[in-house]
Structure 1
Amino acid sequence: MAKYLLLKHYRGAPAAVNDVPMDQWTPEEVTAHIKYMNDFADRLEGSGEFVDGRALAPEGTFVRYDGEGRPPITDGPFAETKDLIAGWMIIDVDSYERAVELAGELSAAPGAGGRPIHEWLELRPLYGEAPTVTE
């Protein structure tokens, strides 16, 4: 088994086929999207492949060491950017191929009009995990 991070990015057009921004979805469309995500996680929890996952609030702060003990703080991420990290999920699967399969399925979460949003998901193995690529 190897653990992978599925990092959800919400990007502006044309990254997604269904490029209606989430803030323009109806409440029913948002509810359907969240239900899809929760059902997906519940199913993986049942199979033993779900480790953890969280949605992230759109507001945040960037902090870095300044060399003098007073880290500068910068507002961000900014809503007007084309890329926003919306959340993450960690899965524990038997192979890289299974991780790709699940990422593809998660990419089909519904959006505006109930159509799959075809979002890009960043798939990354957790550092220190044994590689499971079989190519």
Structure 2
Amino acid sequence: MAKYLLLKHYRGAPPAVNDVPMDQWKPEEVDAHVQYMRDFIARLEGTGEFVGTEGLSPEGTFVRYDGEGRPPVTDGPFAETKDLIAGWLVIDVDSYERAIELAGELSAAPGAGGKPIHEWLEVRPFLTMHSTITE
């Protein structure tokens, strides 16, 4: 088993096919999307492949050490940026191919008009420490 992080990008570049901002969806469209996510997670809980998930607020702050002990703070990211990460899902699967398969399913979550949102998902394996062999 290997753990993967599926990063959910909000309107990544290039834009999703069904690129209607979520704040313009009808309440029943939001409900259908949320139910799709719940069903997806429940299925992964059943197979033992689910580890965790969280959605992220669009508000954020960038912080970077400035070399003098006073980290500068910059507002962002903003919802209109192409690089906003909307949330994440951690899975523990048998193969990279399975991680790609699940990311493809998640990308098909319904959006406006019930059409798949074709959301961009970044699939990132977790780093693993290799055991050190001493003789």
Q: TM-score, normalised by structure 1?
A: 0.90
- Corresponding residue pairs, total: 130
Q: Which residue of 2 aligns with 1:74?
A: 74
User: Is the Cα contact below 8 Å between 1:49 and 1:93 reproduced in 2?
Assistant: yes
Q: Distance in 2 between matches of 1:16 and 1:8?
A: 12
DSSP-derived class of the 2:29 partner: helix
Secondary structure (helix, strand or coil) at the match of 2:28 reads helix
Whether the aligned pair in 1 keeps the contact of 2:12 and 2:84 (CA below 8 Å) is no
Note the C-alpha offset of 1:83.
Answer: 2.9
Question: How far 1:48 sits from its partner (Å)?
Answer: 0.4
Q: Is 1:108 aligned to residue 108 of structure 2?
A: yes
Partner residue of 1:51? 51
1:79 CA displacement: 2.2
Cα distance change on mapping 1:18 and 1:77 into 2, 3 Å = same
Over residues 13-42 of structure 1, what are the superposed CA-to-partner deviations in whole Å (9 max), with x where a residue is unaligned? Answer: 852111111111111111111111111111
Matched-pair contact (CA < 8 Å) for 1:16–1:120: yes
Segments of structure 2 that go 5 or more residues without pairing to the other structure are 131-135
Asked if the contact 2:63–2:71 (Cα under 8 Å) also holds between the matched residues in 1, the reply is yes
Q: Which amino acid aligns with 1:108?
A: A
Per-residue deviation at 1:123? 0.5
Determine if contact 1:13/1:19 at 8 Å carries over to the other structure.
Answer: no
CA deviation string 1:32-75 (max 9, x = no partner)? 11111111111101110000110000001101111111111111
- What is aligned with 2:29? 29
Unmatched runs of 5 consecutive residues or more in structure 1: 131-135
Relative distance call for 1:23 and 1:108 in structure 2 (3 A) is same
- Contact kept in structure 2, 1:20 and 1:112, CA below 8 Å: yes
**Superposition deviation, residue 80 in structure 1:** 2.2
**Shift of residue 12, structure 1, vs aligned partner:** 6.1
